[in-house]
Each structure stands twice: as structure tokens, then as C-alpha cells.
Structure 1
Amino acid sequence: MPFETTYASHAPTRAEVDTLPGLTLLEFGTDWCGHCRAAQGPLAAAMAERDIRHLKIEDGPGRALGRSFRVKLWPTLILLREGEELFRLVRPTSSTTIVEALDLSSNKGANLP
């Protein structure tokens, strides 16, 4: 599945996200956020050749999906399997961190501390 490059201003509902089949990586942030921009290279590298749905969601005050996941800082990455949270990374700075989390979660279904 392709790596999304643009934050979607219209987000699915929490119920819609919770019923998505397979693995889904939610990325919460904004185009103007420096931390979000800095994370794009490492995230793109980590997602290369992975069959994981990627939803890039614009977040901010009053955005229901981000609030339902209690997102506080950007970017926040949340990997879900069938609506169950497998891991969460906040402000990742390296592709190694993202790759390790994706591999552990998608291959073993384990939760990260």
C-alpha cells in the first residue's frame, strides 16, 4: 500500500477505523509542524515495501479521531490490527525506531512498552 504524503483534512470516524481489516498505521500531525516534517523521511523509509495501510490524518483542536486516541504531540504514529492498538510512537526521529516497532508488532503481534 502506498505511503501517504498529504495529511487528510477529513478523517474517518473512530468506528470506521476500528473496523478496518489487517494492519493500519495512523499518523497524526499537520503539514506546518516541524517535528512532522522531520519525521517524513524516516517514516517513508520504514514504510517502503510494507503492506500496511497508512492513514495520514490532520490533527488539531476539535478533531475527534485524534482526541479519541488521546493524541497530545505530533507526529504520533499508532499501529492498529483489527482496531486494536499494537504500538504508539510519539515524535519518532529515526527509521530504525519505526522499523523495529513495525517488525515487532506486525510479525509477532506484540505490544511495545
Structure 2
Amino acid sequence: MATESATDADAPTEPIFVDGQANLKEVVTENDVVLTDFYADWCGPCKMLEPIVKSLAAETDAAVAKVDVDANQQLASAYGVRGVPTLVLFADGEQVEEIVGVQGEDQLRMLVEQYTE
């Protein structure tokens, strides 16, 4: 079991809105585990996922980043996002998981906790 580092304890409790590759890289570098939600304002399933990602930000040791695919098309393309919502999980600076579509809170929490414990 990994020991908890200072960045785990200091993970933001609110989603971080990311604008551009450099901003996302900074968030991923500063946090051990980052769940990144690629979303669009017009996307119904994205709106359904919104309270779940807010809850995960507040209740887990992972940081949650949100990327508006309409405003960040190059960033979405760089991660192969073809549909929204797409969740990309980073651990220790590396992309470790990608989930397309709405998932239940319990499933996402278990996924995040695999990397934060």
C-alpha cells in the first residue's frame, strides 16, 4: 500500500476547469491522481455526470479536472476524445484509464480508489 503524500491530502475538493494542454499538464503534475472529465455544455449525459464528478472531487483523494471539448478541441483530440462524456484518469503523471459514457458513482469511485490507496 502506498503511503499518502502531501499532494493527496491537498487534492482540491472542487473540480478544476482546465484551459489548454499546459494547464492540464500542470494539474496532472501537481496531483498524484487526476480524473479528467472531457465534456460539452450541450451534452445531456455530461450534465448527468456533473454531480458525480463533483462528489468524487469532494470525497476522494483525486483531483477532478474538467475540459470543455468545444473550447479545447486540440486538447480533446490529443487524448483521442471522440465522444462526450469521456473520463481520463491519470496516476503519477501517466494516463492509466479512459472511460467513455456515463458511469455510476460507485464504479468511478472504485476506479479512482484503486490509484489513490
- TM-score, with structure 1 as normaliser: 0.74
Which of 22, 25, 34 is residue 16 of structure 1 equivalent to? Answer: 25
CA contact (8 A) 1:38 1:93 kept: no
Deviation at residue 33 of structure 1 after TM alignment:
0.8
- TM-score, with structure 2 as normaliser: 0.72
Which of 43, 62, 72 is residue 52 of structure 1 equivalent to? Answer: 62
Render the CA deviation track for 1:2-32: whole Å, top value 9, x for unaligned: 2228x55x32338835861322221101122
In the TM superposition, 1:85-100 aligns within 5 A as 85-100=95-110
Most deviating of 84-93 and 13-22: 13-22
Deviation at residue 76 of structure 1 after TM alignment:
1.0
Question: What SS class does the counterpart of residue 37 from structure 2 fall into?
Answer: strand
Query: In the alignment, which residue of structure 2 is the partner of 1:27?
Result: 37
Which of 85, 93, 101 is residue 75 of structure 1 equivalent to? Answer: 85
CA contact (8 A) 2:34 2:64 kept: yes
**Identical aligned pairs, as a percentage?**
19
Normalized per residue, the structure richer in helix is 2
